């Protein structure tokens, strides 16, 4: 925090120091605008850095390490049972978080962004009042709302700090390794955290109200992950809802209805991961001209300008995909729009990654979306069992899919399930964003042997046959 002379007037006020907020503040400062960032947390970084992307990925790296050592026996190497020092794990994870958060604070200072601690609420279209701050309020010319989102509670279930029923923040705190863990929700947070606890030794039961995991992702990509998790978790109940959760002395008593109907079963801990709600309800937006969508997200245009011309909104609070990279991209657009630059948020592809084992990643159009829209596409597949690199990594269950326009060959979407899908999807996003043709991917020389070849080989089937895969007859590729 910048001590001493604190500003009471600023050109650009960014509310929220998460990835969206700090990216917006940095871009605004880089463009020469006098910028102030107000954050309610004592540390910068928001949900992503403090209680989301970064701590979860730190724990998932450990889960990956544990699973790989267990799987190494297939490759002729045997490790002994690992000993988990929970305090050591927590300290390492926190060290990563603290280092990155301090880095964001240093970047604020070096860019001349004023960081003010406090909780902001609007008092009209040109001022916020602050609570828990050295300042009573700040006047602004432009404001960017970047207040993010919070876990959505399960109706009728109150979460107690330190209680056995946890949200993602509680699960990331890793208070212990529960013998029996119930995960409510088969979205990416439930799957990632369930994988972490399963790798650490918990017996995990997952309850999913949909008929499959990750309902918004491509079913074909999710299938290998579901198979793997069905082996790792004690049980996955599909089409099932939790109808009661009650914390008692011996644990949390839970009852499910639906396919996996169980009236009373006891767990040591429960993770509720049923989605997130946006933080727009406590900003006193009524004092401004900002309007919200029916789901509570702030309504914005392509520049991320709200219905109040002096106020912008970005990141989770502006709705759409609740992802950090989307928040950062929007933050830059809003700052540029305020600086008078011709900027718009109009991505063709926002990649999404689920950091499980195997990882699932996709961008652009999915097969389900194409089908729902009645849009013809060619689906070009490369199963990893024919990839030399996948086999050397013991990762043959992967699959790479490229969706292309059947006439022009333009790449419309890419999906990957398998090791390192998180990195592979970036090339897919570039292809979709640049309007590349399948033949562009196919003719680009990819290094051998790498998993990246699965993209170029999948794309090769647009005009012929991939070098290492003959199974697709021309008709098979049409969907
Ligand atoms: P946030 O990061 O939510 O930051 C908002 C900030 O605003 C907070 O620091 C909050 O304290 C502050 N704030 C709120 N109200 C006020 C106020 N009135 N005054 C002052 N400050 C205020 N996304 C990915 O892309 N990749 C991942 O791997 C990933 N993993 C995740 C794992 C978990 C467990 C969770 C929960 C989320 C994950 N996400 C991931 C989602 C990601 O964290 C969010 O999309 C991202 O943090 C949104 O950024 P944001 O800047 O919009 O808001």
Q: Which residue, by CA, sits nearest to atom 14 of ligand 1?
A: 147
Split at pLDDT 50, 70, 90, the class of 473 is low
Q: Over the stretch 205-223, which tens digit does the pLDDT of each residue have? A: 999 999 999 999 999 999 9
What residues contact residue 224 under an 8 Å CB cut-off, 6+ apart?
358, 397, 398, 399, 417, 418
What's the pLDDT at 474? 52
Phi-psi map region of 275: left, alpha, beta (phi>0 left; psi -120 to 50 alpha): left
Residue of 21, 40, 57, 148 best suited for mutating to test ligand 1, as the one with most atoms within 8 Å of CB: 148
Q: Which residue, by CA, sits nearest to atom 45 of ligand 1?
A: 323
Give pTM, 2 decimals: 0.95
What residues contact residue 292 under an 8 Å CB cut-off, 6+ apart?
280, 285, 298, 299
Would you state the structure tokens that stand for residue 447, as one six-digit string? 């290094």
What's the pLDDT at 471? 63
Distance separating alpha carbons of residues 57 and 478, to the nearest angstrom: 37
Residue 442 Cα to ligand 1 middle (Å): 37
Q: Over the stretch 49-65, which tens digit does the pLDDT of each residue have? A: 999 999 999 999 999 99
Q: Which residue, by CA, sits nearest to atom 53 of ligand 1?
A: 148
* 237 catalytic residue (yes or no): no
Residue 48 Cα to ligand 1 middle (Å): 5
Distance separating alpha carbons of residues 285 and 288, to the nearest angstrom: 5
Residue 225 Cα to ligand 1 middle (Å): 26
Question: Which of the 8 DSSP states describes residue 322?
Answer: -
What's the pLDDT at 160? 80
For residue 433, say if its preceding peptide bond is cis, omega within 30 degrees of 0. no
Quickly list DSSP for 351-385. -EEE-SSSEEEEEE--HHHHHHTT---EEEEEEGG
Residue 29 CB neighbours (<10 A): 23
Residues with CB under 6 Å of ligand 1 are 15-21, 38-41, 46-48, 52-53, 56, 119-120, 146-149, 168, 189, 279, 283, 315-316, 322-325, 327
Residue 139 Cα to ligand 1 middle (Å): 25
Q: Residue 175: name the closest of 206, 199, 200, 153 by CA.
A: 200
Distance separating alpha carbons of residues 247 and 257, to the nearest angstrom: 19
What residues contact residue 294 under an 8 Å CB cut-off, 6+ apart?
none
Q: Are 405 and 339 in contact (CB under 8 A)?
A: no
Residue 19 Cα to ligand 1 middle (Å): 7
Split at pLDDT 50, 70, 90, the class of 156 is confident
Q: Residue 420: name the closest of 447, 450, 441, 449 by CA.
A: 450
Would you state the structure tokens that stand for residue 171, as one six-digit string? 């699960």
What's the pLDDT at 6? 57
Q: Secondary structure of the chain: what % helix, strand, coil (to 5)?
A: 35, 25, 40
- From 105-109, 168-172, 220-224, 245-249, the region with the lowest mean pLDDT: 245-249
For residue 243, say if its preceding peptide bond is cis, omega within 30 degrees of 0. no
Distance separating alpha carbons of residues 462 and 165, to the nearest angstrom: 50
Q: Which residue, by CA, sits nearest to atom 33 of ligand 1?
A: 52
* Closest atom, ligand 1, to C-alpha of 45: 9
Residue 250 Cα to ligand 1 middle (Å): 34
Q: Which residue, by CA, sits nearest to atom 46 of ligand 1?
A: 324
Distance separating alpha carbons of residues 310 and 295, to the nearest angstrom: 23
Distance separating alpha carbons of residues 349 and 429, to the nearest angstrom: 6
* Closest atom, ligand 1, to C-alpha of 193: 34
Helix-helix angle 324-338:19-30, to 10 degrees:
30
Would you state the structure tokens that stand for residue 424, as one six-digit string? 């592979």
């Amino acid at each position: 925090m910048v001590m001493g002379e604190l500003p009471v007037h600023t050109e650009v006020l960014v509310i929220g120091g998460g990835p969206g907020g700090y990216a917006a503040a940095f871009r605004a400062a880089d463009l020469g605008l006098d910028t102030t960032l107000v954050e309610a947390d004592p540390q910068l970084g928001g949900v992503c850095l403090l209680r989301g992307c970064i701590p979860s990925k730190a724990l998932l790296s450990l889960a990956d390490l544990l699973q790989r050592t267990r799987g190494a026996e297939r490759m002729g190497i045997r490790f002994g049972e690992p000993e988990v020092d929970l305090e050591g794990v927590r300290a390492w994870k926190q060290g990563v978080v603290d280092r990155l958060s301090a880095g964001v604070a240093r970047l604020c200072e070096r860019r001349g962004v004023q960081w003010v601690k406090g909780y902001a609420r609007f008092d009209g279209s040109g001022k916020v009042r602050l609570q828990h701050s050295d300042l009573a309020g700040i006047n602004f010319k432009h404001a960017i709302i970047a207040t993010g989102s919070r876990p959505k509670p399960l109706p009728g279930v109150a979460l107690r700090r330190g209680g056995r029923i946890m949200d993602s923040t509680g699960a990331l705190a890793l208070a212990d390794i529960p013998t029996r863990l119930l995960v409510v929700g088969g979205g990416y947070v439930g799957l990632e955290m369930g994988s972490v606890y399963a790798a650490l030794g918990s017996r995990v039961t997952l309850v999913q109200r949909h008929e499959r995991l990750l309902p918004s992702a491509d079913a074909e990509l999710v299938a290998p992950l579901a198979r793997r998790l069905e082996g790792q978790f004690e049980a996955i109940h599909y089409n099932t809802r939790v109808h009661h959760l009650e914390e008692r002395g011996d644990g949390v008593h839970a009852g499910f209805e639906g396919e996996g109907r169980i009236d009373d079963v006891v767990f040591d801990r429960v993770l509720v991961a049923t989605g997130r709600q946006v933080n727009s309800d406590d900003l006193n937006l009524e004092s401004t001209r900002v309007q919200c969508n029916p789901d509570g997200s702030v309504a914005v245009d392509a520049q991320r300008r709200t219905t109040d011309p002096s106020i912008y909104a970005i990141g989770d609070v502006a709705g759409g995909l609740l992802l950090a990279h989307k928040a950062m991209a929007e933050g830059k657009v809003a700052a540029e729009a305020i600086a008078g630059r011709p900027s718009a948020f109009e991505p063709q592809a926002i990649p999404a990654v689920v950091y499980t084992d195997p990882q699932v990643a996709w961008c652009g159009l999915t097969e389900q979306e194409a089908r729902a829209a009645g849009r013809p596409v060619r689906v070009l597949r490369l199963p990893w069992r024919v990839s030399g690199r996948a086999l050397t990594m013991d990762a043959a269950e992967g699959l790479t899919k490229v969706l292309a326009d059947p006439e022009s060959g333009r790449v419309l979407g890419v999906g990957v399930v398998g090791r390192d899908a998180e990195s592979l999807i970036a090339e897919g996003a570039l292809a979709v964003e640049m309007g590349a043709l399948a033949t562009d991917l196919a003719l680009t020389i990819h290094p051998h042997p790498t998993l990246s070849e699965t993209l170029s080989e999948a794309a090769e089937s647009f005009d012929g046959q991939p070098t290492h895969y003959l199974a697709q007859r021309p008709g098979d590729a049409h969907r």
